[in-house]
Structure 1
């Protein structure tokens, strides 16, 4: 004899939109718990699965990945994840970090599977992957090897929506490449923020950067305080800032990227805050060196 238990029509129920909001708040507060929350009900799975795949961080080793992701309560992914999840899952990826530990075929697989990325960090020479990268047309925040924009056919589709561009020096560029680099930066239609890693400050024309009125932030990333030459046009440019980046695990560039991916303040936000404070006279007009460990609250009372 089977007994069917039916819920009473008088049983209290939350409106479904409120129930969904509660699940989403719980999921965003602790993303690593999303797989368990998805088991509550089919509707919870439908609501939360897009959040599970929103940020994908792939680095040199799964153990290290797990350490970085744990800091932000994010789930970790392996290359095998591409094979055991339906393709629709990866269309929900918005933030993708590809570290130097992946080989070209693994990186190509992830890039091809995630067509809707808006924030991409790719940490190796991108030349072999330009075909796949050109399938991405919505990337707004991009970190990539400088060789990607030293060619003669820029702008690639990849750059059409980019507003924030960080360039890495992972491959050698020659003098003619440096000239083309400055020219090609001007062809990225929506660029407002540019960041150059060490040595690239000597490859890009300071005069060209200073003359580009679209730019709201010109950042040099360095491991120590930076000294501009007395003749550099950036010396009195209110948009220029040099950011000394920390080397500690809990403050390094991977952590900074993850912080920005989950909605926190990354180095771009720090630079914008400093530039605004300097324009408002809250810091000395001639100061351009800051550190990624600085507290922006201190700038409010510095004066200038």
Structure 2
């Protein structure tokens, strides 16, 4: 006897079905791309996960593919989906193009060289975490003041400066002291003696500061730090992607694993 009803696959509630697919994509990083082919509704769910974190590093083909997607979809799609945007190595025009549509990003890393006197087109929405070179934030070569006046910085909690000023430029960092929610600062590639004074100034003047990270592989410089500064808020790392290698770090970030700040919070 063939009971047709007993052979039917039971239908699950939509909410439960979505949870199953999202859990699968989380447990098996990279599977979200394959799951988009299951159905239209699954594609919508998976794209929320896929575009939540965008990393445009290596290979160049990834950047080209994303730029083609930008051309084929409305800006509102990226504004609503992209929350974590990492642009380690893209050209200035490509960065501006991506930033013009990813206006909902609250976690932004953008390391491209900025043609003077042009500035980075920051998202209109306040940023919570920012990684950028100091040159990108300069208002002009005359004032040497980082452009922290932008409304995007009102909610800034984590700031990573990838390249400090050179010894010939007396950068005014006082704008940092007025940011109301800034609790974490990281400064990379430190090695010069004048940077030691900068660290002391930040620790003394940023009242809300909970953590100051120094990124340096210069043994002599880090020795001076340990000799002259004793502050529990100070941490020293040899490189930003510590303890992973460069490529593994970015692959893991793309998969939704912890980035630089996440590692510090977990350790």
Give TM-score scaled by structure 2 length. 0.78
The one-character-per-residue Cα deviations of 1:24-57 (angstroms, maximum 9, x if unpaired) are 1122233533233122222212222211211211
The reply to whether residue 93 of structure 1 matches residue 77 of structure 2 is no
| Number of residue pairs matched by the alignment | 251
My pick for the range that moved more, 110-119 or 24-33, is 24-33
CA distance in 2, matches of 1:61, 1:257: 11
Residues 1:117 and 2:105 aligned together: yes
Structure 2 residue 49 is matched with structure 1 residue 58: no
CA shift at 1:240, angstroms?
0.5
CA distance in 1, matches of 2:119, 2:22: 36
Correspondence list, 1:192-203, <5 A: 192-199=183-190, 202-203=194-195
In the alignment, the residues of structure 1 paired with residue 238 and residue 154 of structure 2 have an alpha-carbon distance, to the nearest angstrom, of 29
Tell me the equivalent position of 1:219: 213
Map of 1:243 onto structure 2: 237
Residues 46 and 270 from structure 1, CA distance in 2 versus in 1: closer, same or farther, beyond 3 angstroms?
Answer: closer
Q: Which runs of 5+ in 2 are unaligned?
A: 140-144
**SS, match of residue 121 in structure 1:** strand
Which residue of the other structure, out of 172, 178, 191, is the alignment partner of 1:187?
178
3-state SS of 1:130 partner: coil
Cα distance between partner residues in 1 of 2:6 and 2:226: 79
CA drift of 1:9 comes to 11
Counterparts in 2 of 1:31 and 1:105: CA distance versus 1, 3 Å? same
Matched, 1:162 2:149: no
Q: Deviation at 1:270?
A: 4.1
Tell me the SS of whatever aligns to 1:56: strand
Which structure 2 residues correspond to residues 278-293 of structure 1 after superposition, within 5 A? none
Normalising by structure 1, report the TM-score. Answer: 0.69
Alignment-derived partner of residue 208 in structure 1: 201
> Could you give the per-residue CA deviations for residues 118-164 of structure 1, whole angstroms, max 9, x where no partner exists?
2111112346663621x332321111011244435532122222111
Q: Secondary structure of the residue that 2:135 maps to in structure 1?
A: helix
SS, match of residue 109 in structure 1: helix
**Contact 1:241–1:271 (Cα < 8 Å) also in 2:** no
Alpha carbons of structure 1 residues 237 and 168: separation in structure 2 relative to 1, 3 Å: same
Structure 1 segments unaligned to the other structure (5+ residues): 1-5, 67-75, 274-295, 297-304
Structure showing greater relative contact order (alpha-carbon pairs closer than 8 Å, 6 or more residues apart)? 2
Within the alignment, does 1:145 sit opposite 2:137 as a pair? no
Contact 1:141-1:164 within 8 A present in 2 as well: yes
Contact map agreement 1:147 1:173 (CA 8 A) in 2: no
2:261 aligned to which of 240, 259, 268: 268
Give per-residue Cα distances to partners, 1:95-140, cap 9 Å, x unaligned. 111133x22221111001101112111112346663621x332321
Paired position in structure 2 for 1:228? 224
How far did residue 62 of structure 1 move?
2.4
